[in-house]
Structure 1
């Protein structure tokens, strides 16, 4: 095998690896954008009452005294089961509650009971950190590919710009 043929084979393998890594990192960005979009999706209100309440020990962050609360809420035609480490879920059976249910995925976003509100949405720190890390890794992959002359620079930056524009559009169209 000559050096030029070896270089062409290596370039094809590297091109495929860069494409696959880019696809995976772009998927992470899209998925985390979808998580953030679903977190703040519109909600609708459902009234119901607590049917059952269970307490369980749940070690959180080294705290062995943390207690998880699991309640079942009967909302007429549907029954919701909610588990969280929150004193706001310490509700007796029969307590009337109102649930704000997400239109994106049907998950309970807020629970209103006795004048208090419990926020049950997932946090934003992990998705934002994953988006930043994936974009930095994607930039490093493209920078390395351009430096090794696998891609022409114009094609690389056009593909990156097109992906950055289309990824959020695809996520919001899905919602």
Structure 2
């Protein structure tokens, strides 16, 4: 195998690798943006009541004695089960509750009972950190690809465009 042919093969392999990494990192960014959008999606209010309540231990952050609350709720003909460490979920069966249900994915965003409000939405720190890390990695991949002069900048932009076009597909195909 000649050096010229080896270089062409390596360029094709490297271009394919950059395109696949672009696809993966673009998918991570899209998925985390979808998580953040779902977190802050509009909600609708539903009245219901507590069906059952359980207490248990759930190791959180190295604390083996954290008390978790599991509450079964019936609201608007639908059954919900909520588990969290929040003491605001210590509700007796039969307690009337009001749920703010997300229009994006049907999960409970807020639970209101007895004058208290429990925020059940996922946090924002992890998705934001994953978005930042994926964008930094994507920038490093493209900087390295152009800096190494393995292939011309036009191919870099083609890989970026391929990743950007296929990333939403990866988000919506996820299981």
Which residue of structure 1 aligns with residue 26 of structure 2? 26
Aligned to 1:108: 108
Residue of structure 2 in register with 1:83 after alignment: 83
User: What secondary structure is seen at the aligned counterpart in 2 of 1:33?
Assistant: helix
SS across alignment from 1:73? strand
2:35 corresponds in structure 1 to 35
Distance 1:164 1:20, change over 3 A: closer
Residues 29, 131 of structure 2: 8 Å contact kept? yes
Aligned equivalents of 2:164, 2:9: Cα separation in 1: 30
Q: TM-score, length-normalised on structure 2?
A: 0.89
After superposition, the Cα gap between the structure-2 partners of 1:155 and 1:11, relative to the gap in structure 1 and judged at 3 Å, is closer
Is 1:149 matched with 2:149?
yes
- Aligned partner of 1:59 in structure 2 is 59
Q: Using the alignment, how far apart are the partners of 1:9 and 1:153 within structure 2? A: 18
For residue 151 of structure 1, report the CA deviation from its aligned partner.
3.9
Stretch deviating more after TM superposition (126-135 or 74-83): 74-83
Closer, same or farther: CA 10–165 of 1 in aligned 2, 3 Å: closer
TM-score in terms of structure 1 length: 0.89
Following TM superposition, by how much is the alpha carbon of 1:164 offset from its aligned partner in structure 2, in angstroms? 6.8
Structure 2 partner of 1:139: 139
- In 2, Cα distance between the equivalents of 1:156 and 1:5? 21
**Which position in structure 2 is the counterpart of 1:92?**
92
Structure 1, unmatched stretches of 5+, are none
**Unaligned runs of at least 5 residues, structure 2:** none
Shift of 1:45: 0.5
The secondary structure found in structure 1 opposite 2:76 is: coil
Runs of 4+ in 1 over 2 A off after TM superposition: 148-168
Give me the whole-angstrom Cα distance separating, in 2, the residues matched to 1:162 and 1:3: 29
- Matches of 2:138 and 2:49, distance apart in 1: 48
Q: Which residue of 2 aligns with 1:48?
A: 48
Moved more, 152-161 or 13-22: 152-161
2: CA distance, partners of 1:143 / 1:89: 49
Take 1:167 and 1:17, find their aligned partners in 2: how far apart are those partners? 15
